Chains A and B, each alone.
Chain A
Amino acid sequence: MAAIEVQDLCRQYRVYRKREGVLASIVGLFRREYEIVEAVRNVSFRIEEGEMVAFLGPNGAGKTTTLKLLSGLVVPTSGQATVLGHIPWQREDSYRRRFSLVTGQKEQLWWDLPAQESFRLHREIYRIPDDEYRRRLDELTDLLEVGRLMARPVRELSLGERMRMELIAALLHRPDVLFLDEPTIGLDVVSQRRVQEFLRYYQKEQKITVILTSHYMKDVEALCERAIVINRGQVVHDGQLNAIVDRFSQHKILDLQFSDGQVPSTLTRYGQILETRLPRVRLQVPRQQVSECLATILAEHSIDDLSVSERPLEDVIAELFSQPGEPTDHGGSL
């Protein structure tokens, strides 16, 4: 059963376009120019209950705007969406009790008070019975290892500690849908991993539906099997995460170890040399020429060891987002 259904969702913003210089600023007092920015363009997708889906895209692609639309924070220009059967921007209390939005901005907690005070407030806001509240709080504080920090004012917590407290605040009422917008932004490696592990465990245990946006591919690879890639407000890929590499990467990587310790000068005719650490060479070759390259190299040179691998997802996505042009269905051009 679908937890989230989105059909042709569009959101436009009218943005003031300021020209450069003081004179332009003065002119702007009397006559302003605006432009329409299409933050989300005809986005459609469907997410089943209990799925954990990555939402990928460069800055300004429309990921966060889509999450804001699904959270009911902004109203769409056109299109439809339902989350758990509710239209998000109607902002019914019955819907708001069933989802949580966690952003890297960490703003659910009272800054000057210990997090436990904010949690007590959440208990009342979400009408969580006392015994359940106590049980959930104990469980979440154990999982996130923040028990000793509960009495410390939030302003005195580190970024990673605050993020974990934010997660507790978001999950205390046991939402059915969780929107995570860059939850590990700015965190150190240890905190990132802790948050990752927690999210993986919690999602598996509670079977909640999660949409995750993150620029850290490690987060995405660790947590999600399915990815929706969005660029310039449009969905350009919706499917298995590893299919992104098959679909968009034009190259594969050959790792070669030469027996004689010499790198042949003719190697560049097969592709681009990425790294040379004698006797090993890392070579990037066009995807459709892999077998032909391998056959030629093996015939012409003495090779001790070789391997063929896909390019790292992070590289493929970075390349994908940096390409100019309109999105196409195939071939990886955007």
Chain B
Amino acid sequence: MSVATSTPDRLRSAVRLKWLILKTAIEERLAYRGDFVFSTLIRFLPVVTQVFLWRAIFSNDAEKLIRGFRYSEMIAYYLLVMLARAFSSMPGLANGIAGSVADGSIRKYLIQPVDMLDHLFWHRVAHKLVYYAIAIGPFSLVFWLCRSYFPGWPDWTVIWCFVASLLMSFAIGFLIEAWIGLIAFWFLEVSSLIFIYMMLSYFLSGHMIPLEYLSEWLPFVEYLPFRYLAYTPAAIFLGRIPEHRLPVEMMTQFSWIVGLFVLNRITFARGVRRYSSFGG
């Protein structure tokens, strides 16, 4: 069998493989157009309910401060959190990995010379790109309609940190969900674990309410990785994290990526060793 063997060839081949996974996954994602467009658009419904909820909470006085948030800041925060979750949420990832362990379809990743986590990562990037391509219209419309709630554009340093934080939130979301999926090597059924994770991340990521509301009762919340799934990017954009703290915040978020990456690698290596290859 002839294969490309020199280092530049291998590098070129690796890039081509990732690119092809990306393209193929995009094509796959677009196979069910109707369902995809509907599921993308339906995600905007909670925005409306949240705006009404916070409007009711601040009904008497929009300038009132609740834990440091005015009504307008709260709406801006919520919209930014929604944007962050569009990066960090990974619907179906953990369930998909667990399902493939349970039904044996994971074996294609084990017998072929591919890295499963790398493959799934690029697969997920493709899904997100297609999602953004469809959602950019509704997102722009919502942000434009709600532009008065925002304090204005922050400076470039903050914008760059915000973008970097969004991208890192994607990596953290991917690594946490992939790790939960890999636990299926030990416990075949992980749907309860996924449910617990969804519940925890909804609270502890700042998705439901800003973490300022929780930190009094749950002071450890800032030491967990969940905050990077929603709160941190939003807080950076809104200037709630002082600029001198941004490098530390970025480094901490990056450290979580490294830590979770190592955890995934160890879990995968050990999981494969105890794998029983179910499903015939």
Contacts and interface: CB of A to CB of B under 8 A. Distances in A.
Interface of A: 13, 64, 68, 71-75, 91, 93, 96-101, 103-105, 107-108, 110, 112-113, 117-118, 120-121, 124-129, 132, 153, 173-176
Contact of B276 (A13, A127, A176): A13
Contacts of A108: 108, 112
B101 to A, nearest CB: 12
B24 A72 contact: no
Contacts of A93: 113
A128 B2 contact: yes
26 contacts: A71-B107, A71-B111, A74-B275, A91-B110, A100-B111, A101-B111, A103-B280, A104-B280, A105-B104, A110-B28, A113-B24, A113-B28, A113-B31, A117-B24, A117-B27, A121-B24, A124-B16, A125-B17, A126-B113, A127-B3, A127-B9, A128-B1, A128-B3, A153-B31, A174-B1, A175-B1
Interface string B246-275: 000000000000000000000000001111
Contacts of A132: 2
B112 A96 contact: yes
A96 B280 contact: no
A64 B3 CA distance: 30
User: Which residue among B3, B111, B280 has the maximum number of chain A CB atoms within 10 Å of its CB?
Assistant: B111
Interface of B: 1-4, 9-10, 13, 16-17, 20-21, 24, 27-28, 31-32, 104-105, 107-108, 110-114, 272-277, 279-280
Contacts of B111: 71-73, 96, 99-101
A75 B273 contact: yes
Contacts of B112: 96, 108, 125-126
Contacts of B31: 112-113, 153
A64 to B, nearest CB: 7
A140 to B, nearest CB: 14
Given A91-B110, A93-B113, A110 B32 contact: no
Contacts of B10: 127
Contact of B108 (A97, A107, A113): A107
Contacts of B24: 110, 113, 117-118, 120-121
A99 B31 CA distance: 31
A128 B16 CA distance: 12
Contact of A73 (B2, B4, B107): B107
B4 A68 contact: no
B280 A64 contact: yes
Given A68-B277, A75-B273, A107 B13 contact: no
Q: Secondary structure of the A side of the interface?
A: loop
Given A120-B24, A126-B3, A74 B277 contact: yes
A73 B273 CA distance: 9
A68 to B, nearest CB: 5
B105 A107 contact: yes
Contacts of B280: 64, 103-105
Contacts of A120: 20, 24
Given A113-B31, A125-B17, A176 B1 contact: yes
Given A117-B24, A129-B2, 17 more contacts: A13-B276, A73-B111, A74-B277, A100-B111, A101-B111, A105-B105, A107-B104, A107-B105, A107-B107, A108-B112, A112-B31, A113-B28, A120-B24, A121-B20, A127-B10, A128-B3, A176-B1
The 4 tightest CB contacts between A and B, nearest first, are: A93-B113, A124-B17, A112-B31, A96-B113
A127 to B, nearest CB: 4
A112 B32 contact: yes
B64 to A, nearest CB: 50
A113 B279 contact: no
User: Which residue among A97, A126, A127 has the maximum number of chain B CB atoms within 10 Å of its CB?
Assistant: A127
Contact of B3 (A97, A105, A110): A97
Contacts of A105: 104-105, 279-280
B105 A73 contact: no
A127 B114 CA distance: 11
B114 A125 contact: yes
Contact of A124 (B2, B9, B13, B110): B13
Contacts of B273: 75
A72 B279 CA distance: 16
Contacts of A91: 110, 272
B206 to A, nearest CB: 36
A307 to B, nearest CB: 41
A16 to B, nearest CB: 11
